[in-house]
Structure formats: C-alpha cells, structure tokens
C-alpha cells in the first residue's frame, strides 16, 4: 500500500522540526511515516530505494532545503519531492508566489542549476542567497539570542540596533563577471538566487530564480550614514530600497566575488558563518 514519507530536520523551526512536520499530515491521506533527514547517510541511495507509488514530502524551512540540496551535490532526483513550508523564515516559499496558497510544491525544478558559494576553501550550494554585512550580523546576533532564550528572535530590532550602534560598515571590492568596483561604507552586499532573505526582506526584487540565463543578483547598499540608511532600510521589505540608486546598486551575472576590508559574519540560507573576509559565487 502506498504511503507518505515525510523528511524532516529536527533542528528546523527552533528545534521543533518533528512537531511542525506533523502539521503536514493533516493535508495528507493514508499512512504517513517520518524520516530524520540528518540521519540519512546517502540521500541518492535512499531516494532510489523508495517505492514508485510512495509520496515523498520534505517539511521544513530554507535550511532544510539547503541541507537536501547539498546532500544531493547539485543533482536533481528523478523521484518527485513535494515541499511543505514549516520553517521560521520560509523565504524560498515566499519567492514562489503567486502559488502561495498551494500546500505542497514540487521541489525538483528548483533544485536544478543551483549556484555555489565558496568561503575559505569550502564550497556549498544555496537556494536563496548569501547575506554579507549587516544581514550576516543579524544572523550572528540572532543565534546568540536563540542560544540564550526560547523567545522568538526579533531580527528587525537587531537590524535597527546594528544600524544605529553596533555594526560598523566596511569598504568592499565587488567583482561581477570580471568587472571590478570598489565601494566605501558598505552596509550589505548579498548575492541572491531568489528575491527574499531574512524572513521576508525582498532584497533583490527583480531576481528570478528560474531566469533563462541562470544569473544571480548582487546588491550593494553603501555610502550613506546611519540615519539615512535607517530611513531607507525598511523599504527592503517591499523591495523599494533599489529606487535609491544613490546608495543601492544591483548587478547581475554568473561569477561574483565580494571582499570586505574587515571580516564580519555571513549567512547562507540563514546559516551563520563567522569572521568572513571574502566569498565567491558561481552560477
């Protein structure tokens, strides 16, 4: 008899991965079994062993999809994988609008042609984007708060305090497809496969994750002081910050290197990497 196989990450959604994974069962019929994706050794072999009649569902947030993509090493499985969003940020799910009302999304086509990021010699795939600057700082501070308390992390509050007091902007060199530009007083310099990161920030509003050229977008917010940056920053939730061309530049391409003159935290699909001076993306 056909069954539903739900893959979940126990660390997803503030370590409530199994609990939130069971929310999907209300929208399924038939027997449902749960598999911890972090305990599957070889995901390719595992997928090959699933019966054709069984339905496979991945439940979690952006980090869970990232985990799967890296386990697959950029390959797209023949078995259809359905996705049910149950994370804290769900930026990947937000990027798929207007299909926002669908409970289950076929994930396979979104696993194709994923970009990679290389940091300190380590290369990994990503599904949404690389945050570098105050966005990485926010993830670093959020991790500290999460470790100290079970209360939800207020990233907007962290960003405001960072802009006003704690985060020190860097000078940056950005190279996109061989074209080098230098910026002073850089607040953020992410490279994006999708439009969203940070739990709803539309940092790259024109980016299409399925674009024919498979290009990524690098967004640099730079040159302004604390107060003006604080005034413009909330526009990022609607993607309207890019209208401020005097302080925001967007570049598209396939090969991106971003280098800061002083290291800071970086995030990959919400996962924090500390003390990074440079990253390189290949799409």
Over residues 197-233, the pLDDT tens digits come to: 988 899 999 999 999 999 999 999 999 888 899 899 8
* Biggest distance spanned by C-alpha atoms of the chain: 63
Q: 11 or 246, which is more confident? A: 246
In order of start, what are the domains of the chain with their CATH numbers?
4-112 (3.40.50), 117-282 (2.60.200.40)
Q: Kindly list the distances between the CA atom of residue 144 and the CA atoms of 138, 154, 186, 190, in Å, as whole numbers in the listed order.
A: 10, 12, 24, 22
Enter the tokens of residue 196: 């969203």
Q: How far apart are CA 21 and CA 58, in angstroms?
A: 9
Q: What pLDDT score was predicted for residue 9? A: 85
pTM of the model: 0.91
Q: What pLDDT score was predicted for residue 175? A: 98
Enter the tokens of residue 58: 């991945």
Instruction: Summarize the confidence of residues 19-39 as an average pLDDT.
Output: 83
Over residues 44-83, the pLDDT tens digits come to: 888 888 988 999 999 988 988 999 999 999 899 999 999 9
Of the listed ranges 17-26, 48-57, 58-67, 186-195, the least confidently predicted one is 17-26
């Amino acid at each position: 008899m056909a069954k539903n196989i739900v893959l979940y990450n126990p660390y997803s959604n503030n370590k409530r991965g199994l609990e939130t994974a069971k929310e999907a069962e209300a929208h399924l019929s038939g027997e449902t079994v749960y598999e911890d994706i972090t305990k599957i050794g070889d995901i390719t072999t595992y997928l090959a062993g699933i019966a054709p009649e069984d339905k496979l569902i991945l439940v979690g947030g952006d980090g869970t999809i990232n985990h799967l993509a890296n386990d697959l090493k950029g390959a797209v499985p023949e078995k259809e994988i359905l996705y049910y969003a149950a994370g804290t940020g769900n930026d990947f799910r937000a990027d798929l609008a207007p299909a926002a009302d669908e409970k289950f999304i076929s994930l396979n086509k979104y696993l194709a042609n994923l970009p990679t990021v290389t940091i300190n010699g380590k290369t990994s795939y990503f599904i949404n984007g690389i945050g570098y600057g105050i966005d990485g700082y926010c993830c670093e501070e959020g991790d500290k708060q999460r470790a100290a308390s079970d209360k939800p992390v207020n990233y907007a509050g962290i960003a405001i305090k960072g802009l006003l007091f704690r985060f020190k902007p860097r000078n940056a060199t950005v190279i996109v497809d061989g074209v080098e530009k230098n910026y002073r007083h850089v607040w953020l310099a992410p490279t994006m496969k999708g439009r969203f990161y940070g739990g709803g920030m539309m940092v790259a509003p024109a980016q299409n994750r399925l674009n024919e050229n498979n290009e990524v977008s690098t967004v640099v917010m730079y040159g302004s002081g604390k107060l003006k940056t604080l005034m413009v920053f909330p526009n990022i939730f609607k993607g309207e910050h890019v209208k401020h061309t005097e302080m925001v530049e967007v570049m598209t391409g396939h090969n991106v290197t971003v280098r800061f003159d002083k290291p800071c935290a970086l995030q990959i699909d919400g996962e924090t990497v500390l003390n990074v001076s440079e990253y390189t993306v290949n799409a």
